[in-house]
Amino acid sequence: MQILRAAEDYLEAMLMMQQRHGYIRSIDIAEHLGVTKPSVTYTTKRLRENGYITMDRDGLITLTPSGMDIASRMLDRHHTLTKFLMELGVDAETAEEDACKMEHDISEQTYAALCRHAIGKLGILGEDDAGLGETAGTDETARGSFGCRGRFHSAPRALTRRRGFAMLKKRKYPLDSDTVRGLMLCVSSKNDDWHGGTAMLKIGEFSKLSRVSVRMLRHYDEVGLLAPSEVDPMTGYRYYSERQLITAGRIAALRALGFGLSDTRELLRLYDDRAALDARLAAQRTRLEALAADTAQKLRLLDTARERLRKEADMNYNVTIKTLPARYAACVRMTIPCYEAEGMVWDVLCRETDHMPLVPDDPCYCSVTFLDEEYKERDVLIEASKTVRGRYPDTEHVRFRTLPPVTYAGCVYRGSYAQISDVIAAVAAWVTANGYESAGPMFDIYHVSPHETQNPDEFVTEVCFPVREA
């Protein structure tokens, strides 16, 4: 079984506990590594299942031969690397910390070469370390003393090997500058094969760098949006590569643009197809513009509603019976998508009569008659009319005709069209209460319309119900 770095940390710590106390307990491991007891419980369970440790009824832990082999190797490396770095001029505390960072990531080949260099040129390893140089270049890890002086530090480590020490400075937990300079001085570039690796980050580190919460990263993994590069089979820890920070940034950008998770997953696949991506972004812009317009309309309605609430106690709709005489008018009858699209009809009337020298009647009545027998959410049939003097030929959509006289119950009000439903309700109630009945479709007369002013507070509208005595 390939054992990963987190498990190596545990086995190394266990050996240190055994050498220090003569026994190994879970509580000491948790305190030593700075982890929670549930984490220790989970990891020790996996280590037992894989034959690296045993545990008696009292909870005391014993390293098996395979576990001892790994622990000894890691502790040997820590001790050797610490001595090597101190010989390069790195202070003892920094050497300890950097040895912890290097001991797992350094390759067998590089470590053996380092030991040969230490013995052959620097002469820094003692008699207990003599075997290190002899094993250089073999598949077995070089062995040295088990002694480890100073503090033991457990810091997050990369899972992948880093063969270029200069690249290590870019990591979350970089080597000290003195350490890096010392190592580079000891390396002959013509004899080494350097390759830049990719650092692996624990989920917490990746969360900080990507500015994506750990909870959301786990969710991204569940929905197949951003899976960890590796998962430690021993501990269950998730690890991400530095290159995945780019993907995380793209996800954050797409989410900020209003894309859902499924759309984001699709767009990630299209990221290198500039034309396809641009088309999707353009479509999203159109959707957001429509949403913004709808939101703006709702905000206006909200402001109007608030204003109406403040004035509601003083509202008094005055309904009167009037007679509109026969009148000659330019008329356009159309089916429009909804009531709010009434402007389409007026646009047609204006466009097809612009070339005519129309003379408005005095008074000029601009009105809209609602021809449907009931309220409709879409496909609304209306007729717009404007009274004029003279006689004119019909156009494609405009019909000139004489409208019959009509008796109606009407109410004139000033303000935006947002309150028109209240006015309609008031007129309808008045008709019933005063012994009248409906005698035709309702219509509105625009005394001051958006054509004369852009201020809704200045609109003057008359709601009209054709009636007869019941």
* Residue listed under structure tokens 């759309």: 263
Give yes or no for a contact between 379 and 371, defined as CB atoms under 8 angstroms apart: no
The whole-angstrom separation of Cα 142 and Cα 120 is 15
**Local confidence pLDDT in tens for the 470 residues of the chain:** 456 677 888 888 898 888 888 889 888 888 888 888 888 888 888 888 888 899 888 889 999 988 888 888 888 888 888 888 887 778 888 888 888 778 777 777 887 777 777 665 555 554 444 344 333 333 333 333 323 333 333 333 333 233 333 333 334 445 555 555 455 444 433 333 333 345 678 888 888 888 889 899 999 999 889 999 888 777 778 889 888 888 898 898 888 888 988 888 888 888 888 888 888 899 989 999 999 988 988 888 788 777 766 655 455 788 999 999 999 999 999 999 998 899 999 999 999 999 999 999 989 999 999 999 888 888 999 999 999 999 999 999 999 999 999 999 999 998 888 788 889 999 999 999 999 999 999 999 999 998 889 898 899 999 999 999 87
Is the Cα dihedral 59, 64, 66, 68 positive or negative? positive
Element (H, E) at 269: helix 261-269
At 462, list the tokens.
């008359």
CA distances from 196 to 85, 207, 233, 459 (A): 22, 23, 26, 72
Task: Please give the backbone phi and psi of residue 137, each rounded to the nearest 5 degrees, phi first.
Answer: 90, -5
SS3 of residue 377 by DSSP = coil
At 54, list the tokens.
């045993």
Q: Of the candidates 447, 403, 444, which has an alpha carbon nearest to the alpha carbon of residue 427?
A: 444
Element (H, E) at 292: helix 274-311
Give yes or no for a contact between 424 and 463, defined as CB atoms under 8 angstroms apart: yes
The whole-angstrom separation of Cα 58 and Cα 40 is 16
Q: Count Cβ atoms below 10 Å from residue 91 Cβ, excluding itself.
A: 13
Give yes or no for a contact between 140 and 147, defined as CB atoms under 8 angstroms apart: no
Q: What is the CA radius of gyration of the chain?
A: 42
Q: Of the candidates 230, 436, 158, 161, which has an alpha carbon nearest to the alpha carbon of residue 319?
A: 436
